[in-house]
Amino acid sequence: MVQLLEEIKNRKSGRAFSDEPVTEEMIDSILEAGRWAPSCSNTQAWEFVVLTDKETLSKAHEGLSRGNAWGKRAPVMVLVVTEQSGGCTSHGLPYYMMDVGLATENILLQAVHLGLLAHPTAGWDEQILRDMLNIPDEYRIATVIFIGYEGDFDKLDERTKEKERKPRTRKAFTDIVHRDGW
């Protein structure tokens, strides 16, 4: 049996997508994983805008930053949208962002579990996406997740290949873990 920790570690923000379609059943299960994320006081400060229609995707591609042009090959885009006033307000912290962060990770992990690649991003023009998708003013786009099967590395441009070749790293366990006090 694949251990959850193994799947968590295997997840990567890859950029080489195939344009092979993802089934509706898979998309539904990915969104269902997002829907079941925990949230502060169960406020569930998330909404998901899913793009699969080719014409809609191609309009949305106009909003991507140049560095994220690799996302144009992905057959699914999920915008994780949040209402800034929608989360809980404990400690004066923006818990709505924690809610959407947890939903996002659930989405990423379910995609990995299904053998897909899923890449969260912040590199896009929010106004372009908001206008074309009629997202109400009180909502913000927290992240855009590209989802699809892993595709051909050789189809990437040189700069993107360079990013893909970089090893995935993390701060050392002992640098971030404090036992029995700071």
Ligand X SMILES: Cc1cc2nc3c(=O)[nH]c(=O)nc-3n(C[C@H](O)[C@H](O)[C@H](O)COP(=O)(O)O)c2cc1C
Tokens of 6: 């193994």
Smaller CB separation from ligand X, 1 or 2: 2
Q: Is 120 in the site for ligand X (CB under 6 A)?
A: yes
Q: Is 66 in the site for ligand X (CB under 6 A)?
A: no
Q: One symbol per residue from 7 to 36: x for binding ligand X (CB under 6 A), - otherwise; what is it?
A: -----xx-----------------------
Smaller CB separation from ligand X, 98 or 120: 120
Tokens of 18: 């195939």
Q: Considering only CA atoms, which of 113, 85, 112, 109 is closest in space to residue 99?
A: 85
Q: Is 82 in the site for ligand X (CB under 6 A)?
A: no
- CB closest to ligand X, residue no: 123
With contact defined as beta carbons under 8 Å apart, do 116 and 22 qualify?
yes
Smaller CB separation from ligand X, 114 or 156: 156
Q: Give dist(CA 129, CA 29) in Å, integer.
A: 24
Packing angle of the helix pair 24-35, 95-113 (nearest 10 deg): 140
User: Which residues here bind ligand X, judged by CB under 6 A?
Assistant: 12-13, 68, 120-123, 143, 168
